[in-house]
A and B are shown apart, each in its own frame.
Chain A
Amino acid sequence: MISHEDASELLGAYALDAVERDELTELEEHLATCPRCRAELDGLREAAGALGNSVEPPPEGLWSRISDRLGDYSGEGEEPPPMPELSVGTRQRAPFRAPSPGRTRRIRSNALLLGAVAVAASAVAVVLGIGLVRSQDNVTNLQQSIAHERAAAQRTPAEVALHTPGHRVVSLANSAHVEMASFVIVPGGRGYLISSSLPALQEGQTYQLWGFTGSTPVSLGLLGGSPHGSTFTVAGAPLTAELALTAEPSGGTVAPTGAIVASGTV
């Protein structure tokens, strides 16, 4: 067991990640039990942090690459994952100077696309959010408040929707009458994917969901190339009579160009 004196002598080096490997374990064991050393370490780390500050701008595309990988930390698809929409009010605030995050960019392009469709098809207001597939991680150091937030966020909208009075489940089948995907739609028009056996598309393609009111298709959103296990939200009013899925170039199209992969009556 390392003595308190020996441990505290190492704190400066530890704050700089300069402790030898063979001393690390003992030091970290001591830190776990010594609030005094932890407090000193926190202060030394702040000092190191001040030293380490720099003003070098990262390369342009770095945020996009980070953003694109957020979905990698996904569950295994067993349950529909939680929605970012349950998060803070900041999400509703439009003018946000995000460094061109990929996911947000996609959402925005959907919004543009949908805007065009809405004009063409007599003003249908569509709210669209794409949920991130997340998993609950093994966590150490669990902070109570955040743990509670996480727990709340684990209740998926689809689960909530399935317990909402008046919900409808819509099944989309292919031409051979095999179910390819199903959605739950709650009164008000918000819908969630609850299951999917859609095959993964090639890169550069996405599934696009269409609602038909009469003979005019209205885009309800892009589901990505591999919707299995992912969740997303579509809401449209007035609610359409029929849903259909097509495969389209990523970014989506204003009107379906591909063959209908699956469809179903609401």
Chain B
Amino acid sequence: MRDIDEVSDARLVTSIARYSEVALAEVYRRHGRAVYGLARRVLQDAGEAEDVTQEVFLRLWREPDRFDPGRGSLRSFLLAQAHGRAVDAVRSSSSRRARESREAARTARAEYDMQHEAWDLAMADQVAQAMGELSEDERRAIQLAYFDGHTYREVARVLEQPEGTVKSRIRSGLRRLRDALVDAGVRGVDA
């Protein structure tokens, strides 16, 4: 008999499909921090981040079959859900205003603080290193899109670069990031 914390993510999702709240609680224990952390980072608001986190887990409860283990890890699936919702909220007019007022303060922050964006603490170095290998342009474009919720056209305007260039840089940067993480053996990336 295995303890629940040794059960694979995919099996937990199967159990969720069978209405196991215990399995959902375990998924929350494993990934709740990452989901909340990303939502909070994008939204810059604890309350909104909670709402997003709640939606993400309730949706997993309601529609567990939307997760396809053949297409990637549960962690990135949940983070993609969280990110999509957070970005939607950011782009809605109500939070846009509050957000813009925060923008100035944020640009003064450290370049990037990968310690807090890592897969978990042990993976922080790998991700930081991989990000460090990107060109400055790639890194900026990815950060503006991912963490600030800008579309690639908005990123192009902010960086005063052609849209096509920004589009390509985001793709090439992400591909290199993926390759670097696969090489470093970060689990989930090559799933």
Contacts from A to B (Cβ < 8 Å): 8-13, 15-20, 38, 42-59, 62-63, 65-67, 69-70, 72-73, 82-84, 86-91, 93, 96-99, 101, 103-104, 132, 134, 137, 139-143, 145-147, 149-150, 152-153
Q: Are B34 and A52 in contact (CB under 8 A)?
A: yes
Enumerate chain B residues within 8 angstroms of A50, measured Cβ to Cβ.
76, 118-119, 123, 127, 130, 177, 181, 186, 188-189
Residues from 137 to 185 in B contacting A, C-beta threshold 8 Å: 142, 145-146, 149-153, 155, 164, 167-168, 170-175, 177-178, 181
A141-B66, A145-B14 as given contacts; A49 in contact with B19, CB under 8 Å: no
- Chain B window 3-32, contacts with chain A (Cβ cutoff 8 Å), 1 for yes, 0 for no: 111010001011101111111111011001
B48 sits at the interface (CB 8 A):
no
Q: Are A70 and B21 in contact (CB under 8 A)?
A: yes
- Shortest CB–CB separation between residue B64 and chain A, in angstroms? 6
- Chain B window 50-80, contacts with chain A (Cβ cutoff 8 Å), 1 for yes, 0 for no: 1001100110011111101001110111011
- Shortest CB–CB separation between residue B115 and chain A, in angstroms? 8
B33 sits at the interface (CB 8 A):
yes
One of B80, B120, B131 near A45 (C-beta < 8 A): B80
Nearest 10 pairs between A and B by C-beta?
Answer: A54-B37, A49-B76, A12-B171, A56-B37, A87-B18, A58-B36, A87-B20, A47-B178, A12-B170, A18-B145
One of B35, B41, B142, B151 near A19 (C-beta < 8 A): B151
Smallest CB gap from A46: residue in B: B189
Q: How far is the CA of A179 from the CA of B29 in the complex (A)?
A: 44
Q: Are B54 and A66 in contact (CB under 8 A)?
A: yes
Enumerate chain B residues within 8 angstroms of A57, measured Cβ to Cβ.
33, 36
Smallest CB gap from A39: residue in B: B71
A70-B58, A147-B65 as given contacts; A53 in contact with B120, CB under 8 Å: yes
Task: Choose among A54, A96, A137, A145 the residue with the greatest number of B CB atoms under 10 Å from its CB.
Answer: A54
Q: Would you mind naming 23 contact pairs between A and B with Cβ atoms under 8 Å apart?
A: A8-B171, A9-B171, A12-B167, A15-B174, A18-B150, A46-B73, A47-B189, A48-B174, A49-B189, A50-B123, A50-B127, A52-B34, A53-B117, A54-B34, A59-B50, A63-B28, A65-B50, A82-B19, A84-B18, A98-B26, A139-B65, A146-B14, A147-B65
- Shortest CB–CB separation between residue B116 and chain A, in angstroms? 6
- Chain B window 85-126, contacts with chain A (Cβ cutoff 8 Å), 1 for yes, 0 for no: 001000000000000000000000000000011111101000
Q: How far is the CA of A78 from the CA of B136 in the complex (A)?
A: 59
Q: Are A104 and B25 in contact (CB under 8 A)?
A: yes
A52-B117, A66-B28, A141-B65 as given contacts; A16 in contact with B146, CB under 8 Å: yes
Q: Are B118 and A53 in contact (CB under 8 A)?
A: yes
Q: Are B152 and A137 in contact (CB under 8 A)?
A: no
Enumerate chain A residues within 8 angstroms of B54, measured Cβ to Cβ.
62, 65-66, 69
Q: Are A19 and B152 in contact (CB under 8 A)?
A: yes
- Shortest CB–CB separation between residue B127 and chain A, in angstroms? 5
